[in-house]
Amino acid sequence: MNFKTLTLAAALFVCAGPVYAQQLMHSFGATISIMSGKVNNEYGSGNMILSQTCFSYFPRYNFIENENSSISIGAPVAIGLGISRTNGDEDLGLAFAYDLPLVIDYNIGCKSTYENEGTFGGYFGVGFGYNSVSISKSKYSDFKGSSIGPIFRGGVRIGSNSESWSGHGITIGLFYKKGLEKNPFNNYGFNVYYDL
């Protein structure tokens, strides 16, 4: 990169400062999801459905933002417990699971930035995630599985003008993750976050 190109890039960055501001934002809440797929073990193969409720923490970093919108990268990580069952409820088990996604979102309106005082907004985005599950107390007690694949997500954010609520919001979102394995686990569900 020559000196003229570097100077031009620096000038554009300085002039566009308000547009390319950077902020780290935080949310926490719960994720409820359903994971479905096929499992194989000493008893044969079968379809498994795992419902799980997880505690979730979602840090996101706005790397581009303007007055009413932003583009962010974030990691809505989750950890929790769930109940597994085969088709027909023939076998139930207790599962421990965690989810490690990385997402890029386009945010608009409420909580798109710290300064945005709107009472309604939303987001949509894509990402890539890894989740793992281990099941006990069932005939799948030796089962440990994981899945990796693309994520598609979207949702709404709601705020308020009241002083006690000022600066905070609630996010309600939906997501779907498509597993890329030979016998894939697909994951879909929703999350609710309290936005700080």
For the record, the structure tokens of 192 come out as 């609710």
- Best CA proximity match to 86, nearest among 51, 49, 53: 49
| pLDDT for the residue 91 | 62
For the record, the structure tokens of 118 come out as 């709107």
> pLDDT tens, 44-80?
566 777 788 899 999 999 999 888 899 999 999 999 9
Cα 70 off chain centre by: 17
- Best CA proximity match to 124, nearest among 139, 141, 109: 109
Give 11's contacts (C-beta < 8 A, 6+ positions apart). none
> pLDDT tens, 106-165?
999 998 988 887 889 999 999 999 988 877 766 555 567 788 999 999 999 998 777 666
| Alpha carbon distance 189, 153 (integer Å) | 10
Claim: this prediction has a pTM higher than 0.75:
yes
| pLDDT for the residue 13 | 39
